[in-house]
Structure 1
Amino acid sequence: MKKSLGAKTLAQPTPVWAVGSYDENDKPNAMIAAWGGIASSQPASMTVSVRPSRHTYAGIMKHKAFTISVCTKALAAEADYLGIASGKNEDKLAKAGLTAVASDVVEAPYIDEFPLVIECELSHVYELGIHTLLVGEIKDVKCDEDMLVDGKHPDIEKILPLIFNPGTRDYHTVGERVGKAFDIGRQFTE
């Protein structure tokens, strides 16, 4: 029997992304966001929800761009710190030992140490309660070459992306491969 837990943000898992932007003074900044995902295939687009009170929000609005640096298990503490401190008060990237790199396609920085980066141009903004849903059209995806499988796709088992459990507020990473998508279910089509 299932127990009702109420109307809560308990979807599992959620991503741990470093959302990069230049702030209002054009200084590189990044925050951690777990509310986000793929929004569209055509045009290729991502969403991320950010509170307007966050320092990163004003920078995204000014520059009309953001990046998503996919956080990894190996850099979990650095990623967590980006969600604890505010770029309003300190240079979070420098303090965490992370390197901001200027995107060559959008007006936003990404974090060099994280192996997978998605560069987005802001395309839509939706006010939703205490968060604002930002939709970014993907302009480029960059991945460290040693983190690719077949030379053209990010390898989830090498990247080991950090994921978040909103209920317990714990970080995890991905587990073993289960099977090939759009294939293991074929047994039910016969």
Structure 2
Amino acid sequence: MKKNIGAVVGLYPTPSTLVGTVVENKVNWCNVAHIGIIGLDSIMLSIRKGRYTNLGIKENKTVSVNLVSEDMVVEADYVGLVTGKTVDKSQVFEYHMGELNVPIIDKSPLAMECELVDIYDTKDYDNFILKVVHTHVEEHAIDKSGKVDYQKLRPVLFEKLTGTYLRTGDVIAKCWNVGRKYNDL
């Protein structure tokens, strides 16, 4: 039997990402896990209003979204604990500037360069609608058909309800295939 636990968003875990922006001519990083896919070429970042990162996204209309790997967890968590308003986070990661002039973390196994399309405003959050323009992936995590192999990429997941970082698990079935067995049940 299920128990009603209230109005709890129960869709975690989500990928842990580091959003890279330039704010007031300085590179800044923000740990963001409220991220979603809203089409085959677009994503949404939901960031609490007043965050320093939001200024950079609004100012430049471009941003990088860098997946966090296990060897980045300490640094990733740190940039989520401090604000760029008072702490210079530009040296936390080695990075290079991408084609859209956004900072891309060298250590991140997958990074997307995005353009701002729109901002959906809610009470406490700026929801940035972004078009993915370039996706950079470590070659070891690309399979023979040119697709990202997440078993090799091993992104870190964020689970808000328990405040933990998780790793991805095993493959349990193939999408658009396992359902063919339904009539055999």
Match of residue 113 from structure 2: 119
The answer to whether 1:45 aligns with 2:39 is no
- Quote the RMSD (CA, aligned, Å): 1.4
1:38, CA displacement in angstroms? 1.0
The one-letter amino acid of 2:143's match is: V
Q: Which aligned pairs between 1:82-97 and structure 2 lie closer than 5 A?
A: 82-94=79-91, 96=92
2:179 to 165, 174, 185: 185
1:145, CA displacement in angstroms? 0.9
1:93, CA displacement in angstroms? 3.9
The answer to whether 1:157 aligns with 2:151 is yes
Match of residue 79 from structure 1: 76
1:189, CA displacement in angstroms? 5.1
Match of residue 98 from structure 2: 103
The answer to whether 1:35 aligns with 2:30 is no
Secondary structure in 1 matching 2:43 = strand
1:27, CA displacement in angstroms? 1.0
State how far apart, in whole Å, the 1-side matches of 2:113 and 2:172 are.
29
Secondary structure in 1 matching 2:39 = strand
State how far apart, in whole Å, the 1-side matches of 2:82 and 2:181 are.
50
2:138 to 141, 144, 164: 144
State how far apart, in whole Å, the 1-side matches of 2:145 and 2:137 are.
10
1:102, CA displacement in angstroms? 0.9
1:151, CA displacement in angstroms? 5.9
Secondary structure in 2 matching 1:135 = strand
State how far apart, in whole Å, the 2-side matches of 1:37 and 1:45 are.
9
Which digits, 9 at most, give the CA deviation of each residue in 1:134-159, with x for residues without a partner?
A: 01001010011122222622221122
State how far apart, in whole Å, the 1-side matches of 2:109 and 2:151 are.
12
Note if contact 1:46-1:135 (Cα within 8 Å) is conserved in structure 2: yes
* Displaced runs of 4 or more, over 4 A: none
TM-score by length of 2: 0.94
1:172 to 159, 166, 173: 166
Match of residue 66 from structure 2: 69
Change (3 A) 1:103 1:181: same
Gaps of 5+ in 2: none
The one-letter amino acid of 1:112's match is: D
Gaps of 5+ in 1: none
Change (3 A) 1:56 1:32: same
Q: Identity percentage over the alignment?
A: 29
State how far apart, in whole Å, the 2-side matches of 1:189 and 1:112 are.
48
